[in-house]
Amino acid sequence: MYDKIKELSLTFAQYKTYPISKFIDDSPLRKFQELYPSNHYSIEIERFLAYHNYSPIRRGADLPWWGKEYFSSEPGFRVMTITRDSLSEDAGSVVLFSHLFPVIQSQSEYMSFINSINNKQSFSFNSWNIFRTQFSQWGLNLDYLYVTDAAKVYKMDNNTSFDKDKSRRLLKQEIEICNPDLIIMMGSSSFDLLTKGLKFGEVVESGRIISVQGIKCVVCPFISGQGVTQKRFKEKLAKATETINSVLNKQ
């Protein structure tokens, strides 16, 4: 397990996306560790961050999150979900606040957590719950789930624009290390980075499985924000859900 986490960390460290100095006491990660010190992620992320003692050189990115068995030797069907580009104000956050999925069950618990962290890192309960509910409807086992953002490497001289080439390279390396059984692309960000000769709209409309680095991949519309305003959103999401369920039911 720890060899994989170290390999993943050293890969990210090449791009200096997670300067440890940015993980202050009231950041979403540190507060989570304070409240849930025995949680697998609280422990394993420390091994990950051990290789990120460098000075910030650009805007940071959201940390990936993984379930407690994802990097274990336990047999199980492993799923990687890739969301939109990382747009957190600075390092210190976790993509989609996924670390809260297994431990928080109510809005009041969620709001208590939000009120304990710095106001630069807030994420609304409604948005968070949309993702948690959708993952449940897809039948994803949180123990074997890995969640990451698409583009994560900003340009050296610009904290609002991504270095697409480096972001693409990092995401490909991340997929290779994590070696999932299924990839779920949420929105067009990762699709644009990783596919050639395909059109996002056509793939989403068809609901068909594509191959990314030799791994089965399902593409769906982004399920919050502007994503839900696109034409035929419900139909597209339903097709993606049907495909994901069919893949998981065959395991």
Q: Hunting for tokens 């191959």 — which residue is that?
A: 211
The three-point CA angle 27-33-36 to 5° equals 135
What is the pTM assigned to this prediction? Answer: 0.96
> Whole-angstrom Cα distance, residue 149 to residue 193?
12
Instruction: Spell out the per-residue pLDDT of the chain, length 251, in tens.
Output: 669 999 999 999 999 989 998 888 888 999 999 999 999 999 999 999 999 999 888 778 899 999 999 999 999 999 999 999 887 666 678 999 999 999 999 999 999 999 999 876 668 899 999 999 999 999 999 999 999 999 999 887 766 789 999 999 999 999 999 999 999 999 999 999 999 999 999 999 999 999 999 999 999 999 987 778 788 899 999 999 999 999 998 87
Residues 6+ apart with CB under 8 A from 98: 65, 131, 145, 147
**128-135 contacts, C-beta under 8 A, 24 or more apart:** 128/96, 128/97, 128/100, 130/223, 130/224, 131/96, 131/98, 131/223, 131/224, 132/101, 134/223, 135/81, 135/101
Query: In the structure encoding, which two tokens stand for residue 92, read together?
Result: 């210190």
